[in-house]
Amino acid sequence: MDQIYIPKIRNGFSTGSYVLIKPINPQELNNESQIKIKKAQFYFYNLSFLEPIKLEIIKMIIKIIDSKTESKNIIITGSFLKKGFNFNDVDILVINKLNEIKENSNQIKEINKAIENSLGIKSHIIIIDNKSLIGGLCTDPLYQMMLGQYVSKNRVIYNIKNEINYKLLDLQLLKSKSLITNWNILNGNEKYYLTRNMLVISLFLKNKKINEKELEKEIKQSLNTTTEKIKQNLLEKTNFLKNYKKTYDILFNKIMKEIKNGPK
């Protein structure tokens, strides 16, 4: 008996839909059909499900960006890719050549406006060249977190090795200290952002993969809670801050030690 495997990410129909599978002779396809099939292809990383309507939104976003600039690649990432529709905007990386970035930096506002006018969705666009992106992935754990899950126009292949810059990590970790001092005025999403910022540094220094799954494990192990409880602001203040400060101090002391022992 033959088996035919259909990918979980399917554009246009959801899980459980009835489909007809039939062989197609490539020679019978006209040029227009081949173009449509090629344009419908996306590349998915670390993503097991995406609502069909989001795939249509991604297709339209890519079409808008392609009409405004000649990008080498377009990468969709962030909370937009999570199940449901609880997101504020769509995070988009546009990979261009360095000279094109300098010439077209003002296009970000134009693209944001075009996406909002067409789809009613706000977007957060970063235009970056390939070399700068690789540099960010090597030195900044937030870059790795950003690309821990994505949908891209073209295939993404990055072989990176962590390059630890302790002074850079010190500046980044300092942001998370504000959770301790500003607990009462921060909402759940703000507390999650500062918690995530701290723990991706922890994962980075442990040379672990940085993605939502690993971050959730780190939250449970270090802080004895979950992402959802933090976001919903359902935390027991005393215990959470005790664990948070302990984790922060361990990271801070480790970074300070390496800075002091590092080259002058």
Taking the C-alpha atoms of residue 176 and residue 191, their distance in angstroms, rounded to an integer, is 9
Could you state, in chain order, the average pLDDT of each consecutive group of 10 residues for the chain (264 residues)? 56 56 55 44 87 92 90 92 86 80 69 92 91 92 93 88 94 96 95 97 94 94 96 95 97 94 68
Domain boundaries, the chain: 41-152, 166-256
DSSP states of 71-100: -SEEEEESGGGSSSS--S-EEEEEEE-HHH
- For residue 153, the model assigns a pLDDT of 94
Length of the chain counted residue by residue: 264
- What is the rounded (10 degree) CA torsion for 238, 243, 248, 251? 170
Helices (H) and strands (E) in the chain, counts: 12, 5
* 197 close to 172: Cβ distance less than 8 angstroms: yes
pLDDT of residue 24: 56
Q: What is the dihedral of CA 89, 94, 100, 104, to 10 degrees?
A: -10
Q: Are 124 and 116 in contact (CB under 8 A)?
A: no
Q: Which of 198, 175, 187, 182 is nearest to 230 (CA)?
A: 187
Architecture label for domain 41-152:
2-Layer Sandwich (3.30)
Q: What is the pLDDT of residue 194?
A: 97
pLDDT at residue number 174: 96
With the C-alpha atoms ordered 70, 75, 78, 83, is the resulting torsion angle positive or negative?
Answer: positive
pLDDT in the model for residue 104: 57
